[in-house]
Structure 1
Amino acid sequence: MTRRLLALFLLAGLSGSLAGQENTERIVNERDSRSHDFDLVHQRIELSDFDWDSLGFRGRVTTTLRALRPGFDSVILDAGALLDIGSVTTAGGRTALRWAHDRDSLIVHLERSRAFGDTVRFTVDYRGRVRNGRGLTFIPADTLPPARPRQLWSQGEAMDNHLWFPTYDFPNDKATWEMVVTVPSGYTAVSNGALKSDRTSREGSRTMTWRQEKPATTYLASIVVAPLARLADRWRGRPVEYYVYREDSARARALFEVTPDMIEVFSRLTGVDYPWPRYAQTTVADFFGGMENVGATTLVDWIPTRAAYADRPWYRHILIPHELAHQWFGDYVTTANWANMWLNEGFAEFMPGQYWGRRLGVHAMEEYYLDEYEQFMQIDARRRMPLASLGSNNIYPKGALVLRMLQQYLGEARFWLGVRRYLADHAFDVATSDDLRQAFRAATGENLDWFWEQWVYRAGYPHLVVSAEWDSLSATLSLQVEQTQRDTLPVDKSGTRFTVPETFRLPVSIRVGTTGGDVTARVWLDQRQQQVRLPGVAARPTMVIFDEANEVLKDLTFGQPVSWLANQLRNDPNLWNRDWVIRQLASHRQSPEAGAAIAAAATGADYFHTRAQAALALSAFEGATVNAALLGALSDTSAQVRAAAAQAMGERSDLGAVPALRARWEADPSEAVRGQVLVALGRLAPEETRALIVEGLASTSYLDVVAEAATHAAIERGDSTLLGELDRAAGRVRLAMVALGVFGARGHERALDMLDRHLLSSRATIRHRAAEVYRNIVPDSVARTRLTAIRPAITDEKTRQEIEELLARSGQ
């Protein structure tokens, strides 16, 4: 699942005081798991009469469950407050049952008491309605760019499926289900499991019956209803399907065709053949990214153009393999409660790096986890939390990085033995963090309590400060290593205080380069201050690589001579180390040796990521060597390197770069490069850039990367004569809406008038973006006046609620 939505739910779900409670004890003892007195066995969910105007539909759910206590005489199901219950009867409608519906709970009184283990079956008929975007999202057809057809889709995670059908809405129980969906003529209903029937009535309506025959958690039940084209593929004879808008069919094949190969690689790595009868991926509008509904992933409709593949789109590189990995980690084996959600998301975030490493090589894998590291550091800086904790904010990148550390520590064979044991022990079931630890112990014989305690149950990471001293007489290199992390985390609003280990236990490999050959050592760090002595360093060191393979998630401060750093940049094959070295060299702005080393990497490194990072770092240096390197990088075969070179040129004052940048704007095939070139030209040649900004704002590109860049340039330019162009772009370009707020905050009433019109748009995402700009950009006093005036004209319930919240905040 995409990060932002899940994080918002989980943080909102924090309640009660945890002060004084040890997080390890809380997680291991499943204190965040929900009790239930029945086992949900099967549900038949029948849906019809969808109404896009009222956000309504008709539903019937027949539930089969098994009593888990004696004297079982009533059932409490989760059922949204807006579900209008018509009747509850025994299966077949023979006997009416008493029921009560209170907020989000439906209480069904059985006709007689049942014994432990007895089976109970009953049917609920209801008329459903939702608050759009909760449980179900209804999207009307419109002609605003980009146009999309009328559609609806569900989103169950974390606990929203009960808003459209009565069920048990918590992950610690699994059931089977069938989805019987009647849709208008020309529409398709996509759901979980195998298609059992597809019938068209005389009136033209279509009824499709999907059956999920293997148990899964109910938040993974899903539907999509839209006029869709189906593209067919196969994996070992099983259907692999791609459902897209008909006009997207040609582009969709190129995007999704990698899926069968990903299924093959994940099946081999996990030792579990893809566990569901089919795999479908369906694209929809206004989705937040992707959701791993069992056997039927829902994805946002951002299908790349042919040109976009030069820019390595996130969609193919991360989103598709992430959601696919969930079919094993999250669907086949599911977290028992939300405090262990990292088991789902951490593995799903870890697996794409494994795929690309096997298909594109070790540098591709290192690059993937390096990106995860950078995301982790940004999130951790905002709030430091353990992996396993209710509402944890870092379950995606930290989860992936902790699993990568475990893989490096155990080695390939033992790591995958542990993963396979975990999947085998909890197949079609739920699991906790400690279940994963025990699976690794059973598979490898190693007690990993220490690893779990510091990386799963506690917060933070080690901050290492290292210094080196070489003694020629004893031929010894001495390293002083200090762990400087502090346990300074405050108690939060819920009373929770997580802790950071005072000392981490860390396995570290060290390589010392000398003219007489390299010296290596592997040491364990387990003290706040520790000296590490490496004998046999007979010649003066030429470089020292600390944590050579980046086996430890850390922050490293290690002052070194420029010559050591330059030598490491030339010779170290590890991508993470190169990135670190480039940052260290970039801090030596007055050093010709540092600039020359980075310039050489910008044009000569063997992997595009290193060349791109080096090109970016050259923005801090001056001189003919740097100019030549950036011009060379601007013609690199990699679009990422060319974009980095253009960005660096824009951050320097070298007007000699303008002709080369102009040429790239005219001819570069990469949309991302043209975007960076536009921003650079806006800084270096502002007098001739206005026409390019107008052209860029009107252009179409994948994810509007060129228009976004044009908006950046317009904001920097501060030219209010561009407001008309920004207004026309604001409906499709997120940053253009922000630009209206920026100009409005600068006193341009016309920009605020435009923002007000977007609050009345027929498209929900446009209204929301305009409200967000009022929330985050426009001064409160101005926002209060404008929103008070426009409030009576807003008819959409959700937008009106956003405005009320903004007015309440600005009035404080």
Structure 2
Amino acid sequence: MHYSKARITPALVAALLLLSAPIGAQTNLERVVNGAYTPTHDFDLIHQRIEVGSFDWDSTAFDGVVGTTVVSLREGLAAVTLDMDRRLEVRTVRGARNAALEFERPGDSLVVRLPRPAALGDTVRFRVSYRGRIEQGRGLYFFKEEPGRPHRPQQVYSDGGTDGNPRWIPTYAPPHDKTTWELVATVPARFTVVSNGRLVSDRRLPGGLRRTHWSQDRPASTFLISLVVAPLIKVSDRWRDVPVDYYVYPEDSALARPLFGVTPDMMETFTRLTGVPYPWKKYAQTTVADFIGGMENVSATTLVDWLPDRRAYLDRPWYQYVLVPHELSHQWFGDLVTAENWANYWLHEGFAQFMPGQYWAAKLGPAAEDDYYFEEYQQFLAKDARRRMPLATYNSNNVYPRGALVLRMLKQQLGERPFWAAINRFLTRHGGRTATSEDLRQAVLDATGQSLGWFWSQWIYQAGYPEFAVTAAWDSAAGAAVLTVRQTQQDTLRADSTGLRFTVPQVFRAPVAIRVRTTGGDLVQRVVIDAREQTVRIGGVREAPTMIVFDDENAVLKTLEFEQPTPWLTTLLARHPDLWNRSWAIGQLARRTGDSLA
């Protein structure tokens, strides 16, 4: 998903937090690691067959029949509870031999009473018939043609988000239970239906209708169930033996391949980097009206319909530069390996925001990589200033840029090959399953031997970042550059209504390189900053420095105050290869309005 927030109700959060007591005494790390955000579950969702039709664009309604198969996970299971929006009007619930079953509708749930308690391991099947009445944008979007408004054909499509699909189908919403499903849609014949998995059949019916049947036969989480019904044409492509299709309005047919034609190369690059081939039987990208950006439905991404025109490619269109690779990377991160709960949501969005930078680095080199992550850095600072939260927590506000930047730091900490070995271990170990932030740390440990508990503690489970204030002097007698490094960040966060207070480390552990340049050449010394105030001495500096760079490789997410002579800054700007360091120097020079050299 791109730039849409996890939508989890306060009532659900309150219920989940009751599972772990005493909550008020728990840290964020304890809540996340102890599974406080993963609901208990007394059945395993095995398969759903979703049949929809009789769409009414005037009343934003439709008819649905959903057949559900579950396996009991406990003895004496008397009822199965699914998530189902209260606006969906249940007509009947039927079980074996079409027998009517009793049901209840408490809130946004459907409780199906079984004719007899199911034993542990028993299979239970039932079918729910209902009339779906939709509040626009809650689960489904209905759009009618509007006279005089071009590029807005009639259509209906789903948006699973994190809680959207139970607003149009009865299902189990949390991400930790994966299932298979089929989707059968009966629609006017002029429409195309796109959904997950493989196309089983698409046939014309009497009365100007068509029935399209899709099957997702590899288990995935139900938030990834997708439906798009619109007047679309298909532009076909391939990656290896995998069909890659671009569904657009007929008038956009000439724009599809220039935009989406990079997709097979992105699939190849992500396969090479992760060591895990694209994991699904097809990949479709379908454009729709007034969408949030993109949604990574398994094997069938939904995207906004404003395709760039030829002029847009004179610059760097966000759609191709960020959105297409972001949503594609979710097919590995979010779809293949899914967060156990939404407190670990950054494992989806952090990776999906990180991977485009890796693609452009592979294609265009390190300058393009620096440029990509520098933009993420600017977005991160803006979000952090509005609200400071950890990566791994319920409804974290900064999972996109902070997640991308933390993964970039992890890659710099480990090195290129060890990092990708750890990612491969994570994907292969948890592929088709769910995972937590600790599972990623364990994959790093197993692949590289590095536990990195300190890294997870400060960057995953706590908030903020180091705010460094540095001063430097040259000790001519000792032939040394002497830096005093202070961490000035403050922990001023307050507890929320549940008693949870996020913390900002008073001391971040920061491995950095410090570069000292003189007319005789450069010296680089690696140090670990791990105190609130710390003195660093760099020997062998026999003449006055002409430049000193703190965090030479920009390996730490930070802000930096470092007063320097103007000539040092101009040398840094002219000579240093790192974009962040050059941009920082520009910012320092811009303050010196009365300095002619600046």
TM bin (shorter chain)? over 0.9
Structure 2 partner of 1:82: 87
CA distance in 1, matches of 2:12, 2:316: 36
Structure 2 partner of 1:462: 466
Give the partner amino acid of 2:363.
Answer: R
Structure 1 partner of 2:553: 549
Structure 1 partner of 2:2: 2
SS at match of 2:422: helix
CA distance in 1, matches of 2:141, 2:11: 21
Shift of 1:41: 0.5
Task: Report if aligned partners of 2:5, 2:397 keep a CA contact under 8 Å in 1.
Answer: no
Report the TM-score, using the length of structure 2 for normalisation: 0.97
Shift of 1:311: 2.3
Give the partner amino acid of 2:435.
Answer: A
Shift of 1:358: 0.5
Instruction: Show CA shifts across 1:160-195 (max 9, x none).
Output: 211111110111100000000111021011000010
CA distance in 1, matches of 2:519, 2:411: 33
Shift of 1:144: 4.5
Task: Report if aligned partners of 1:14, 1:391 keep a CA contact under 8 Å in 2.
Answer: no
Between 1:77-86 and 1:221-230, the stretch displaced more is: 77-86
Do structure 1's residue 53 and structure 2's residue 58 form an aligned pair? yes
Do structure 1's residue 216 and structure 2's residue 215 form an aligned pair? no
CA distance in 1, matches of 2:169, 2:148: 32
Task: Report if aligned partners of 2:480, 2:538 keep a CA contact under 8 Å in 1.
Answer: yes
The CA RMSD over aligned residues, in Å, is: 1.4
Shift of 1:11: 7.8
Structure 1 partner of 2:345: 341
CA distance in 2, matches of 1:304, 1:143: 24
Task: Report if aligned partners of 1:19, 1:497 keep a CA contact under 8 Å in 2.
Answer: no
Task: Report if aligned partners of 1:269, 1:416 keep a CA contact under 8 Å in 2.
Answer: yes
CA distance in 2, matches of 1:214, 1:469: 62
Equivalence map 1:271-282=2 (5 Å): 271-282=275-286
Shift of 1:493: 4.4
Give the partner amino acid of 2:92.
Answer: S
CA distance in 1, matches of 2:572, 2:415: 25
Structure 2 partner of 1:472: 476
Structure 2 partner of 1:38: 43
Structure 2 partner of 1:365: 369
Shift of 1:10: 7.0
Larger Rg: 1
Give the partner amino acid of 1:109.
Answer: R
Do structure 1's residue 109 and structure 2's residue 113 form an aligned pair? yes
Structure 2 partner of 1:672: none
Structure 1 partner of 2:517: 513
Task: Report if aligned partners of 1:11, 1:391 keep a CA contact under 8 Å in 2.
Answer: no
Instruction: Show CA shifts across 1:318-361 (max 9, x none).
Output: 00000000000000000111111101100000000000000011
Instruction: Show CA shifts across 1:87-138 (max 9, x none).
Output: 11125x5322122223311111112222111111111111111111100110
Between 1:97-106 and 1:210-219, the stretch displaced more is: 97-106
CA distance in 2, matches of 1:582, 1:563: 12
CA distance in 1, matches of 2:322, 2:531: 38
Match among 412, 430, 440 for residue 408 of structure 1 = 412
Task: Report if aligned partners of 2:465, 2:558 keep a CA contact under 8 Å in 1.
Answer: yes
Structure 2 partner of 1:429: 433
CA distance in 1, matches of 2:224, 2:322: 20
Structure 1 partner of 2:259: 255
Shift of 1:565: 0.4
Structure 2 partner of 1:792: none
Equivalence map 1:319-358=2 (5 Å): 319-358=323-362
Give the partner amino acid of 2:2.
Answer: T
Do structure 1's residue 136 and structure 2's residue 143 form an aligned pair? no
Give the partner amino acid of 2:443.
Answer: A
Structure 1 partner of 2:401: 397
Structure 2 partner of 1:121: 125
Instruction: Show CA shifts across 1:425-479 (max 9, x none).
Output: 1111111111111111111111111100000001110010000000122110000
Task: Report if aligned partners of 2:102, 2:112 keep a CA contact under 8 Å in 1.
Answer: yes
Task: Report if aligned partners of 2:2, 2:326 keep a CA contact under 8 Å in 1.
Answer: no
Shift of 1:563: 0.2
Instruction: Show CA shifts across 1:716-749 (max 9, x none).
Output: xxxxxxxxxxxxxxxxxxxxxxxxxxxxxxxxxx
Structure 2 partner of 1:293: 297
Match among 501, 506, 512 for residue 502 of structure 1 = 506
SS at match of 1:196: strand
Structure 2 partner of 1:773: none
Q: Which runs of 5+ in 1 are unaligned?
A: 595-812
Task: Report if aligned partners of 2:6, 2:342 keep a CA contact under 8 Å in 1.
Answer: no
Give the partner amino acid of 1:6.
Answer: K
CA distance in 1, matches of 2:424, 2:586: 39
Match among 181, 185, 189 for residue 185 of structure 1 = 189
Task: Report if aligned partners of 1:41, 1:64 keep a CA contact under 8 Å in 2.
Answer: yes
Give the partner amino acid of 1:76.
Answer: T
Structure 2 partner of 1:242: 246
Do structure 1's residue 268 and structure 2's residue 267 form an aligned pair? no
Equivalence map 1:633-712=2 (5 Å): none
CA distance in 1, matches of 2:9, 2:443: 27
Give the partner amino acid of 1:64.
Answer: T
Greater percentage in strand: 2
Instruction: Show CA shifts across 1:656-711 (max 9, x none).
Output: xxxxxxxxxxxxxxxxxxxxxxxxxxxxxxxxxxxxxxxxxxxxxxxxxxxxxxxx
Greater percentage in helix: 1
Task: Report if aligned partners of 1:187, 1:225 keep a CA contact under 8 Å in 2.
Answer: yes
Equivalence map 1:433-452=2 (5 Å): 433-452=437-456
Report the TM-score, using the length of structure 1 for normalisation: 0.72
Structure 2 partner of 1:638: none
Task: Report if aligned partners of 1:231, 1:243 keep a CA contact under 8 Å in 2.
Answer: yes
Task: Report if aligned partners of 1:198, 1:207 keep a CA contact under 8 Å in 2.
Answer: yes
CA distance in 2, matches of 1:279, 1:12: 36
Task: Report if aligned partners of 1:266, 1:355 keep a CA contact under 8 Å in 2.
Answer: yes
Shift of 1:31: 0.5
Give the partner amino acid of 1:2.
Answer: H
Structure 2 partner of 1:771: none
Structure 2 partner of 1:203: 207
Higher relative contact order (CA 8 A, sep 6+): 2
CA distance in 2, matches of 1:409, 1:135: 41
Structure 2 partner of 1:21: 26
CA distance in 1, matches of 2:582, 2:91: 65
Q: Which runs of 5+ in 2 are unaligned?
A: none
SS at match of 2:98: coil
Shift of 1:154: 0.4
Task: Report if aligned partners of 1:34, 1:172 keep a CA contact under 8 Å in 2.
Answer: no
Distance 1:171 1:144, change over 3 A: farther
Task: Report if aligned partners of 2:6, 2:162 keep a CA contact under 8 Å in 1.
Answer: no
Task: Report if aligned partners of 2:515, 2:549 keep a CA contact under 8 Å in 1.
Answer: yes
SS at match of 1:208: strand
Distance 1:306 1:203, change over 3 A: same
Aligned residues: 592
Task: Report if aligned partners of 2:7, 2:163 keep a CA contact under 8 Å in 1.
Answer: no
Distance 1:275 1:509, change over 3 A: same
Shift of 1:146: 4.4
Shift of 1:14: 5.2
Equivalence map 1:555-566=2 (5 Å): 555-566=559-570
Give the partner amino acid of 1:356.
Answer: W
CA distance in 2, matches of 1:537, 1:353: 37
SS at match of 2:546: strand
Task: Report if aligned partners of 1:10, 1:390 keep a CA contact under 8 Å in 2.
Answer: no
Give the partner amino acid of 1:113.
Answer: P
SS at match of 1:127: strand
Equivalence map 1:143-182=2 (5 Å): 143-182=147-186
Instruction: Show CA shifts across 1:61-104 (max 9, x none).
Output: 1111110001122111111111111111125x532212222331
Task: Report if aligned partners of 1:10, 1:338 keep a CA contact under 8 Å in 2.
Answer: no
Structure 2 partner of 1:569: 573
